[in-house]
Amino acid sequence: MVQPSRPQSTPRLALAPGPAGAPKGRQARFVAIAGNIGAGKSTLTSFLASQFAIRPFYEPNDSNPYLTDFYADMMRYAFHSQMYFLSAKFRAHLQLARLLDEDPATVYVQDRTIYEDAEIFARTLYTRGVMSARDYETYSSMYRAIRETLPKPDLLIYLRCSLKGIRRRIKVRGRPEEQAVDPRYLRALQDAYETWFAEYDLGPMLVIETEKLDYLEHWIDRQDLVTALDGLLCRARAGI
């Protein structure tokens, strides 16, 4: 088992155990994908769905009605936007929890989690002075209550990408609301992801360096990824 070196010298694929190591005595049925804006979460979710017997569970398609206003005036709309995301993520996690209960033979992979919304995006807005202390405490108290009710991921896949790579991907995919994002905000998110990952304690983690591992274009990279994930999922299913 390779222990990742954070944050600079990690190999392209690295497994880091959670507080209790790999899942024991049960199937790894809830795989979560985390990463900054443009890191490749939706792409990896689709890839896993096509390569493994895993059902994708994407973020809700409903657009945040505050998002455009938020990017135009973060100070005014930070709380509104984050509360909308929190409620949407909570509904999504509840739906996933029901699916896990109703269909115990199926493995699900989730594109971004509620933990990122709260522990990265909302916290970053607060630490940068965009969200007030009063609003952040209201938000956090709601999140803490929600967090206790949710099933924990059996495996977290963290997609790490440089800030330069993130900005390049944002430009290429061309979403209008993302084009004017302050580079300092992206840097703050990047730092928050590294901190969150270093402190993550809900279970095992796999780190993928997305700029070094081009699994879509290069066959060897793709095989490396499939082999690593196949071993992890099979090992977890066996309760090893």
pLDDT tens by residue, the chain, 240 residues: 333 333 444 456 555 544 444 444 445 689 999 998 878 888 888 888 888 778 998 766 668 899 889 888 989 999 999 999 999 999 999 999 999 899 888 889 998 889 999 999 999 999 999 999 999 999 999 999 999 999 899 889 998 888 888 888 777 765 666 666 778 888 899 999 999 988 898 888 888 887 776 666 677 777 777 777 776 665 444 443
Residue 7: cis peptide before it, omega within 30 degrees of 0? yes
CB atoms within 10 A of CB 7: 15
Six-digit token string for 157: 């896949």
- Quote the CA–CA distance of 89 and 239 in Å, as a whole number: 29
pTM score of the predicted model: 0.78
pLDDT of residue 67: 86
- Quote the CA–CA distance of 191 and 169 in Å, as a whole number: 18
Beta bridge partners of 30: 108
pLDDT of residue 234: 55
The domains of the chain are located at 13-237
Is residue 163 within 8 Å of residue 186, measured between CB atoms?
Answer: yes
Q: Provide the strand spans (E) within the chain.
A: 13-16, 30-35, 54-57, 107-111, 155-160, 205-209
Q: Could you confirm whether domain 13-237 is CATH 3.20.20.105? A: no
pLDDT of residue 174: 58
pLDDT of residue 206: 85
pLDDT of residue 106: 86
Q: Identify whether 111 is a catalytic site residue.
A: yes
pLDDT of residue 82: 96
Which entry of 62, 73, 103, 111 is annotated as an active-site residue?
111
Amino acid at 191: D
Six-digit token string for 134: 């009063």
- Quote the CA–CA distance of 106 and 99 in Å, as a whole number: 9
Inter-axis angle of helices 163-173 and 183-199, nearest 10: 120
